[in-house]
Amino acid sequence: MSNPIRIAILGYGNLGRGVELAVRANEDMKLVAFFTRRDPASLKTNTPGVPVYHMDQLLEKKDEIDVLMLCGGSAKDLPVQSVEYAKYFNIVDSFDTHAKIPEHFAACDKSAAEGGKIALISVGWDPGMFSLQRLLGNCILPNGSDYTFWGKGVSQGHSDAIRRIDGVADAKQYTIPVDDALLRVRAGENPVLTTREKHIRECFVVAEDGADLARIETEIKTMPNYFADYDTIVHFISAEELALDHAGIPHGGFVMRSGVTGLNGETQQMIEYSLKLGSNPEFTASVLVCYARAAYRMNARGESGCKTVFDVPPALLSPKSGEELRKNLL
């Protein structure tokens, strides 16, 4: 490609690393810089040719970047960074605190509109692809019910919650959809499911030497919000086992729309979308990167302000021309 889309990454954790790799898989893009709040010299990336700068230098590099990928966390980083940088850059973020999306949208919209840039927020798989499937399902089958199941996969928030318990050295928590619930939804039963009926929580815990295992198990299982409303399974394992068998960050899930059509709602219709992800951050990053292409193109044709996956014409996600897409994928 003669004029690749110039991508920069802010934040080099799992997601930033995923974006770095995803950019390589797209020939019309070029990774031009990493930015970090750490000492740039300390950052060892997988792309040695690409410079690492301190984030204080971001504005200096403004004209060399087409889209800035914000790879920080939703709790503290993105509410500040997305809003601030949308003034100067087309940005893509993966803000995933569902309840705060309207607020985040409003702040980013103001900032991006001011700067004449595109801020594409809450991109990834949930929010992101799952949201898109929920929207499509609702539009196609207005008479129906939505179901979203997550897993099997690692919940970082739940793993962290276990790690904060006294006597816990390390932990990993898997969210697992309950098979019976999936089957009932697929059968068109439209069940009303409790929290407990939808997901199981399975925990692999490394205890500190001499810790009271029974107390730890009780503290996990009774923890409000995180575990109390679920059937929770706790396994105590060694640090070696945790490192060997639970090093990955798999995830996935299901979005289902069960609806009816017909003269009197007599016809069952079922839409199901599912993901089985070997790596949650690598997949999320892959979604972010194709939406970066769309952000760049929307801005290039004069649009600005905050957008979500709901606002992006799908063809803008692809490096292929409309003609190629209609010929080969339609």
- Could you say whether residue 13 binds a copy of itself (CB under 8 A)? no
Q: At closest approach, how far in Å is the CB of 235 from a copy of itself?
A: 25
| Cα 318 from Cα 293, distance rounded (Å) | 8
- Could you say whether residue 46 binds a copy of itself (CB under 8 A)? yes
- The encoded tokens of residue 235 equal 């396994």
Closest CA to 303 of 113, 164, 84: 113
- Could you say whether residue 287 binds a copy of itself (CB under 8 A)? yes
| Cα 54 from Cα 58, distance rounded (Å) | 8
Closest CA to 252 of 225, 272, 279: 279
Q: Which of 4, 14, 21, 193 binds a copy of itself (CB under 8 A)?
A: 21
- Would you give the binding string for a copy of itself spanning residues 125-154, x where CB under 8 A is met? --x-x-xxxxxx-xxxxxx-----------
- Could you say whether residue 313 binds a copy of itself (CB under 8 A)? yes
Nearer to a copy of itself, 140 or 213 (CB): 140
Q: Which long-range contacts (CB under 8 A, 24 or more apart) does 309-312 make?
A: 309/120, 309/122, 309/123, 309/127, 309/128, 309/129, 309/131, 309/132, 310/131, 310/132, 310/135, 312/120
CB-CB contact of 40 with 26 (8 Å) = no
Q: What residues contact residue 6 under an 8 Å CB cut-off, 6+ apart?
A: 29, 30, 32, 64, 65, 66, 67
| Cα 143 from Cα 163, distance rounded (Å) | 43
Q: At closest approach, how far in Å is the CB of 254 from a copy of itself?
A: 9
Nearer to a copy of itself, 197 or 272 (CB): 272
In single-letter form, the type of residue at position 149 comes to F
Nearer to a copy of itself, 156 or 261 (CB): 261
- Asked, as a colleague might, if the bond just before 40 is cis with ω within 30 of 0, I would say no
- Could you say whether residue 315 binds a copy of itself (CB under 8 A)? yes
- Would you give the binding string for a copy of itself spanning residues 248-267, x where CB under 8 A is met? -------------xxx---x
- Could you say whether residue 283 binds a copy of itself (CB under 8 A)? yes
- Would you give the binding string for a copy of itself spanning residues 68-107, x where CB under 8 A is met? ------------------------------x--xx--x--
Q: At closest approach, how far in Å is the CB of 318 from a copy of itself?
A: 5
Nearer to a copy of itself, 174 or 227 (CB): 174
Q: Where are the alpha helices (DSSP H) in the chain?
A: 14-24, 78-85, 101-115, 129-140, 156-163, 179-186, 195-198, 213-221, 239-245, 280-300, 322-328
| Cα 55 from Cα 34, distance rounded (Å) | 9
- Could you say whether residue 277 binds a copy of itself (CB under 8 A)? yes
- Could you say whether residue 203 binds a copy of itself (CB under 8 A)? no
Q: What residues contact residue 210 under an 8 Å CB cut-off, 6+ apart?
A: none
Residue 144's DSSP bridge partners are 259
Stretch that binds a copy of itself, among 73-81, 162-170, 235-243, 275-283 (CB under 8 A): 275-283
Q: Which of 216, 223, 275, 295 binds a copy of itself (CB under 8 A)?
A: 275
- Could you say whether residue 200 binds a copy of itself (CB under 8 A)? no
- Could you say whether residue 9 binds a copy of itself (CB under 8 A)? no
CB-CB contact of 148 with 134 (8 Å) = yes
- Could you say whether residue 233 binds a copy of itself (CB under 8 A)? no
Q: Which of residues 167-196 bind a copy of itself (CB under 8 A)?
A: 186
Residues forming contacts to a copy of itself in the complex (CB under 8 A) are: 18, 21-22, 25-26, 46, 98, 101-102, 105, 122, 127, 129, 131-136, 138-143, 186, 261-263, 267-279, 282-283, 285-287, 290, 293, 308-315, 317-318, 322-323, 325-327, 329-330
